[in-house]
Amino acid sequence: MSRSRMLKLLPWIATPLLVILIIIAWQIIVTVFNVNPFIFPPPGEVGSTFIGLFADPRTWNATWVTVTEIVVGFLIAVVIGLTVGVILGKVRWLEVSLRPLIIISQVAPKVAFIPLFVIWFGFGMTSKIVLAVLLAFFPIMLNVLLGVRSVEQGHREVLQSLNASRWQRFTQLDMRSLQPHLFAGMEVGIVLATIGAIVGEYLGGNDGLGNLVVASMNALDAGMTFALILWLSLIGLVLYLIVNELKRFFIPWHESVYGLNNVGV
């Protein structure tokens, strides 16, 4: 078997093996140390609870709410991050002026703002969407700014020598150059948007999967808590893979895509 073929099959072999090893180690720890299932349930109990989730309509209603918060928050963050990143990348004095304020806004613990968001926007979806936007915005904006600044001066001079308008230079050079950076920011952004929506539901929600996790913890149902966390992880993985596939579709010419395709990842 060729090396490229082996690399292509590796994720499909290594990942299931690692999952099986983790489950075996989990079962051994629970059995050997006789762990109370209220504290650390065995994998079989979590698995049966996880399967049972899909027969409960509350799961699907909560999933719809959580996924909506994540996707809406992420899309808003992409629009704002792309716009602000392009503006700050083009206007250097504005970026220098706003840089301290942007950094302060990002290092501030956003979880601490959740009570304020609840006061301002209520216990519904809006406060979670705002938190998702805040978390996803910065990596997207920062990567777009880097993409705008990464355009080679020689390419700009070529287009100027061809009498290309400012709009043509932006659409045909800047936008093309910043696309890999935009998708790099989006891959981080979708993860942070997922975390933001779920944390918002943990601390100030009356609906969604995060709220179900809190309810299961209050009921001391460790099996349900594990099953919901597993379901949330799978949702986050699917959303990340969707963004990754969008990157492969829109920028197949970039090394970050065709380089991975060549090794089968």
The chain-wide mean pLDDT, for the chain, equals: 87
Higher pLDDT, 183 or 161: 183
The residue-averaged pLDDT of 82-103 equals 89
Tell me the mean pLDDT in the region 111-123.
83
> Of 1.10.3720.10, 3.40.50.620, 2.60.40.420, 1.25.40.10, which CATH number belongs to 41-256?
1.10.3720.10
**pTM of the shown model:** 0.86
pLDDT of 133 above 50: yes
The confidence score (pLDDT) of residue 263 equals 52
How far apart (Å, rounded) are the C-alpha atoms in residues 219 and 113? 27
First to last CA, the chain: 17
CB 198 within 8 A of CB 232: yes
Q: Is the confidence at residue 264, as pLDDT, over 50?
A: no
**Mean pLDDT: which of 93-102, 140-149, 156-165, 170-179 is highest?**
140-149
Q: Is the pLDDT of residue 94 over 50?
A: yes
Whether residue 205 has pLDDT greater than 80: no
Q: Who's near 195: CB < 8 A, 6+ residues apart?
A: 135
152 compared with 78, residue with greater pLDDT: 78
Mean pLDDT over residues 245-261, rounded? 79
Whether the per-residue pLDDT at 262 is higher than 90: the answer is: no
- How sure is the predictor about 260, in pLDDT bands with cuts at 50, 70 and 90? low
Ranges of each domain in the chain: 1-35, 41-256
Note the pLDDT of residue 49: 92
Is the model more confident about 204 or about 15?
15
pLDDT on residue 171: 82
- Of residues 195 and 261, more confidence is placed in 195
pLDDT (mean) for 111-119: 83
pLDDT band with cut points at 50, 70 and 90 for residue 164: confident
Task: Give the pLDDT of residue 4.
Answer: 67
* 50: pLDDT strictly greater than 60: yes
